[in-house]
């Protein structure tokens, strides 16, 4: 018998044995069939249950192996709930085969990855997508992200991040929708719908995860992972609101946060995970801890059973929970309740029928041209025009002969994806330099000068980790930095116009990337000032994850465009805006401070007896303003809009009524553009102080020059209620209300109404 024939027969025999063993070990489970979760649970040993409650790290972490053994051995013996951060489809299939073919119950693994704003086609970062004020766009982008990720074997994403962020020192502001609970909820719903769709089991969708539950964005001093202290009324009225919206939209999982909330670790916080999530909201999906957070509970002396179903990558459940149950400290019923929603999620996702990746199909899905088109549209719709004196923008190709593209982020690629976008399987990225070249073709001379490198003041922890694709820019000698600076200024001098691209490398925003100062670091401010001093027209293009201190630029640079981290099509989309092929309509989802001394800063604060603009003693610093440089909701367009005729359907109505609010918006300029109409309210008195303004409606619409439209909003109990700290419940109160409509949170157009008993 030839060698190959022998091997073939051997493999045939072993397959047969495996098949027979499979039949014997699981009489009720036919391979590839959709099981019943409760039946499956009945067959499971405690070890197998706890394995389902565990997410194993996708790469060998020595401490993990020391604690519980090699992840693959665990899978072989007991299966696993999930595996974190394996993105290579070949590896996914290999590991999935271990679970499905070799583990006793053949339960497939749920592979989880941070697909935050794209998998291969990278869309603008979440704060940018929120700047579009366009939930439909957000939904479409996450639909594409889900399609690509699922095609490559990822069935679970750790998004959306729903943390309200009022402090730009906190680096993770970039991952969320900003400071406002109403906008945040609309964006949350859109993301859940985009990721999950409405058809359970659809193979082009993924399970979403609402994170980080809750209050993570309120870290003391903006320092990532530090404690949050949030009074109950702020939890209900602000921080929990987007999470509730996600739960109502059917989000399949939640992630508990790392930090202490009011002195109780969020991942062991029974009030959050049990009283709020399960009891009050009746949530029946599952909760995963943030990475290693369950392990941290040990140091806090907290119990395991506050409400986290799945332990992310720490191995703590595997190490302790089995013994806890065997010793009778934790009831099996409790374990069963924790396992059941995980099995149900796997069943709903269609994992039992389709556990493997079809590797041959992946390129066709990832390279769909319409994905790139959508990414470009997303850039166009999310950039925010902050300043445009004397219509400095858009630029005209026919009037410019030479452009100096300057700055340490102008030719960047990976940095435009932000940390998460760079961590999945991103395709090519169009740099801003390239986008400008693509736009102007050969008719305009485009030259580039990098300027001095950007580095963090304190070297980054990530710097030397090979799998982190975004890097610090190399250290330069003072001479090299000076030469780079001088070259850039010289280039500006000999060009018609300078487009200066400044901001933050990707590592400066995101996780563990808090900053005490929002200044343009690494000599960028000096470079900007020197380029402006040449007298050439300057356009400042910002690439960053949080508002920056641009106080000088806001007075001296005629055009400023906030582009955030705008993904694969960054350069093309930004060039579309710069040259007027698209009209900007992004609006800020955060209040933009002058500098970090003003933080935290948010528009929906309560009244003070002495606001900044009152005479006498006022609520302000001696040496700085306490109002924003640009307010929440602000953004310019190449056209202009007027707002008139703000009317409410009844000037007096009973509590419980729903009122109609109408406002006319007209395009008063001479080109088509999108208006972002915003509705704000204020309750004048009541059982508690109410915010000076609260967003309660918005709509983005396109208007041709000279055209006008009446926009309607509804104000009903959902919009008018709040959680009263005095009454400890949700109330709609018989009080007087102000209403404003316009294009930012300082809109002047006003009317009022009164609710009566
Ligand atoms: C830690 C981060 O806080 C969380 O957002 C992320 O989803 C997990 N790591 C997994 O990568």
Among 60-69, 92-101, 285-294, 478-487, the range scoring the smallest mean pLDDT is: 60-69
Same structural domain for residues 383 and 434? yes
CA dihedral of residues 32, 36, 39, 45 (deg, nearest 10): 60
- Told to judge if 290 belongs to the known catalytic residues of this protein, a careful annotator would answer yes
Number of structural domains the chain divides into: 2
* Residue found under tokens 């009324």: 233
Atom number of ligand 1 nearest to Cα 258: 3
Nearest ligand 1 atom to the CA of 113 is 11
- Which residue, judged by its Cα, is nearest atom 11 of ligand 1? 114
Choose the catalytic residue: 180, 260, 290, 674: 290
Q: Which of 502, 537, 501, 527 has its CA nearest to residue 400?
A: 537
Mutate to test the pocket of ligand 1, among 290, 296, 311, 424 (most ligand atoms within 8 A of CB): 290
- What pLDDT sits at residue 427? 96
* Whole-Å CA distances, 709 to 189, 637, 666, 739: 26, 17, 6, 19
- Of 598, 629, 655, the one marking the end of a domain is 598
The reported pTM is 0.94
The whole-number pLDDT of residue 472 equals: 84
Query: Ligand 1 mean position to 288 CA, how many Å?
Result: 11
Mean pLDDT in residue range 535-557? 98
**pLDDT of 25 above 70:** no
With respect to residue 481, please indicate whether it lies within any of the assigned structural domains: yes
121 and 366 Cβ atoms separated by less than 8 Å: yes
Do residues 672 and 566 both lie within one domain?
no
Residue 311 forms part of a structural domain: no
Whether residues 666 and 553 share a domain: the answer is: no
- The percent of residues above 70 in pLDDT, for the chain, comes to 94
Query: What is the spatial distance between Cα 721 and Cα 181, in angstroms, rounded to a whole number?
Result: 13
- The answer on 587 and 449 residing in a single domain is yes
Residue 527 resides in a domain: yes
Q: Is residue 24 part of a domain?
A: no
Assigned token pair, 312: 């992310």
| Residue of 82, 114, 117, 209 with the most ligand 1 atoms within 8 Å of its CB, for mutation | 114
Please state the atom number of ligand 1 nearest to the C-alpha of residue 257.
Answer: 3
What is the rounded average pLDDT of the residues 640-663? 98
Which H, E and C letters describe 131-170, residue by residue? HCCCHHHHHHHHHHHHHHHHHCCCCEECCCECCCCCCCCC
pLDDT for residue 432:
98
CA of 343 to the centre of ligand 1 (A): 22
Q: Which two tokens stand for residue 506?
A: 């990707």
Is residue 655 in some structural domain?
yes
Confirm whether 569 is domain-assigned.
Answer: yes
Pocket test for ligand 1, best of 58, 216, 291 (most atoms within 8 A of CB): 291
Residue that finishes a domain, picked among 565, 598, 631? 598
The enclosing H or E element of 633 equals none
Boundary of a domain, candidates 568, 598, 628: 598
pLDDT at 402 over 60: yes
Report CA(608)–ligand 1 centroid distance (Å): 38
* Across 18-32, 339-353, 466-480, 676-690, least confident range: 18-32
Residues 461 and 554 in one domain: yes
* Residue 593 lies in domain: 369-598
pLDDT at residue 503 is higher than 90: yes
Quick one: 403 and 545 in the same domain? yes
- Is pLDDT at 10 greater than 50 in this prediction? no
What is the DSSP track for 692-757? S-EEEEEEEEEE-TT-EEEEEEEE-HHHH-EEETTTTEEE--S-EEEEEEESSTT--EEEEEEEE-
CATH number for the domain including 526? 3.40.50.1700
- Ligand 1 pocket, residues with Cβ under 6 angstroms: 114, 158, 211, 290-291, 511
Average pLDDT over residues 505-534: 95
Q: pLDDT: is 63 or 9 the higher one?
A: 63
Flag whether 444 is in a domain: yes
Ligand 1 atom 9 nearest Cα: 291
Q: Do residue 662 and residue 578 come from a single domain?
A: no
Residues 579 and 669 in one domain: no
Which is nearest to 372 in space by CA: 303, 315, 430, 310? Answer: 430
**CATH classification of the domain holding 670:** 2.60.40.10
Q: Are both 483 and 566 inside the same structural domain?
A: yes
User: How far is CA 486 from its chain centroid?
Assistant: 38
CA of 737 to the centre of ligand 1 (A): 41
CA of 218 to the centre of ligand 1 (A): 17
| Nearest protein Cα to ligand 1, atom 7 | 158
- Indicate which residue's Cα is closest to atom 3 of ligand 1: 290
Query: By C-alpha distance, which of 365, 483, 465 is closest to 422?
Result: 465
Per residue in 425-474, pLDDT (tens digit) is 999 999 999 999 999 999 999 999 999 999 776 666 666 677 778 888 88
472 vs 424, residue with greater confidence: 424
Banded model confidence at residue 302, pLDDT cuts 50, 70, 90: low
Same domain, 593 and 647: no
Q: What is the average pLDDT score of the chain?
A: 92
C-alpha 482/C-alpha 501 separation (Å) is 18
Distance 357 CA to ligand 1 centre (A): 24
Same domain, 533 and 464: yes
Round to whole Å and give the CA distance between 168 and 514: 8
Q: Encode pLDDT of 472-492 as tens digits.
A: 888 899 999 999 999 999 999
Higher pLDDT, 608 or 23: 608
632 in any annotated domain: no
What is the structure's pLDDT at 464?
Answer: 64
Residue 298 in tokens: 């040990």
551 and 441 co-located in one domain: yes
């Amino acid at each position: 018998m030839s060698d190959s024939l022998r091997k073939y027969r051997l493999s045939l025999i072993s397959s047969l044995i495996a098949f027979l063993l499979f039949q014997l070990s699981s009489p009720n489970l036919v391979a590839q069939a959709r099981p019943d979760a409760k039946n499956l649970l009945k067959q499971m040993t405690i070890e197998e249950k706890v394995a389902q409650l565990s997410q194993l790290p996708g790469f060998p972490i020595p401490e993990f192996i020391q604690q519980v053994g090699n992840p693959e051995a665990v899978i072989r013996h007991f299966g696993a709930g999930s595996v974190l951060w394996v993105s290579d489809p070949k590896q996914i299939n290999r590991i999935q085969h271990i679970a499905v073919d070799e583990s006793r119950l053949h339960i497939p693994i749920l592979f989880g990855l941070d697909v935050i704003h794209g998998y291969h086609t990278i869309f603008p970062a979440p704060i940018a997508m929120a700047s579009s004020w366009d939930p439909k766009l957000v939904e479409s982008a996450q639909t594409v992200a889900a399609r690509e990720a699922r095609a490559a074997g990822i069935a679970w994403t750790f998004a959306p991040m729903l943390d309200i962020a009022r402090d730009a020192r906190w680096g993770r502001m970039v991952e969320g929708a900003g400071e406002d609970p109403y906008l945040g909820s609309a964006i949350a719903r859109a993301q859940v719908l985009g990721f999950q769709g409405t058809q359970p089991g659809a193979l082009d969708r993924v399970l979403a995860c609402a994170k980080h539950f809750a209050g993570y964005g309120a870290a003391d001093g903006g320092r990532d992972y530090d404690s949050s202290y949030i009074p109950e009324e702020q939890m209900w009225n602000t921080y929990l609101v987007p999470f509730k919206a996600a739960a109502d939209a059917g989000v399949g999982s939640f992630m508990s946060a790392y930090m202490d909330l009011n002195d109780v670790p969020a991942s062991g916080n029974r009030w959050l995970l049990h009283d709020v999530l399960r009891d009050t909201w009746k949530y029946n999906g599952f909760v995963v801890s943030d990475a290693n957070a369950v392990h941290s509970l040990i140091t806090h002396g907290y119990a395991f059973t506050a409400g986290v179903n799945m332990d992310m990558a720490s191995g703590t459940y595997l190490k302790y929970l089995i013994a806890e149950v065997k010793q009778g400290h934790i009831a099996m019923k409790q374990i069963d309740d924790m396992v059941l929603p995980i099995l149900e999620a796997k069943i709903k996702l269609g994992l039992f029928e389709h556990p493997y990746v079809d590797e041959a199909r992946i390129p066709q899905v990832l390279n769909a041209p319409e994905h790139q088109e959508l990414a470009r549209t997303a850039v166009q719709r999310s950039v925010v025009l902050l300043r445009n004196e004397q219509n400095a923008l858009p630029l005209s190709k026919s009037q410019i002969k030479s452009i100096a593209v300057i700055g340490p982020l102008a030719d960047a690629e990976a940095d435009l994806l932000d940390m998460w976008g760079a961590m999945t399987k991103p395709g090519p990225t169009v740099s801003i330099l390239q986008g400008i070249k693509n736009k102007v073709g050969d008719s305009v001379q485009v030259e580039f000068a990098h300027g001095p490198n950007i580095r963090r003041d304190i070297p980054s922890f990530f710097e030397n980790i090979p799998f982190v694709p975004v890097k610090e820019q190399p250290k330069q000698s003072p001479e090299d930095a000076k030469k780079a600076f001088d070259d850039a200024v010289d280039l500006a001098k000999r060009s018609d116009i300078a487009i200066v691209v400044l901001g933050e490398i990707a590592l400066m925003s995101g996780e563990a990337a808090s900053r005490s100062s929002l200044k343009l670091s690494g000599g960028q401010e000096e470079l900007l000032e020197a380029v402006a001093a040449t007298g050439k027209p300057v356009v400042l293009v910002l690439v960053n994850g949080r508002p920056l201190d641009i106080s000088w630029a806001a007075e001296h640079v005629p055009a400023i465009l906030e582009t955030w981290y705008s993904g694969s099509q960054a350069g093309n989309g930004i060039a579309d805006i710069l040259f007027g092929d698209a009209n900007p309509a992004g609006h800020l989802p955060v209040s933009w401070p002058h500098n970090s001394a003003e933080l935290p800063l948010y528009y929906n604060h309560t009244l003070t007896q002495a606001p900044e603009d009152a005479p006498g003693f006022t609520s302000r610093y001696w040496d700085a303003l306490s109002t924003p440089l640009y307010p929440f909701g602000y953004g310019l367009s190449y056209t202009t809009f007027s707002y008139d005729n703000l009317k409410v359907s009844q000037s007096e109505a009973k509590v419980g009524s729903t009122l109609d609010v109408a406002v006319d918006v007209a395009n008063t300029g001479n080109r088509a553009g999108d208006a972002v109409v915003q509705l704000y309210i204020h309750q004048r008195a009541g059982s508690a102080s109410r915010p000076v303004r609260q967003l309660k409606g918005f709509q983005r619409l396109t208007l041709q020059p000279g055209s006008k439209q009446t926009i309607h909003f509804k104000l009903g109990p959902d919009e008018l209620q709040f959680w009263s700290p005095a009454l400890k419940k949700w109330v709609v109160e018989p009080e007087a209300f102000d209403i404003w409509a316009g294009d930012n949170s300082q809109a002047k157009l006003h009317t009022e109404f009164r609710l009566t008993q």
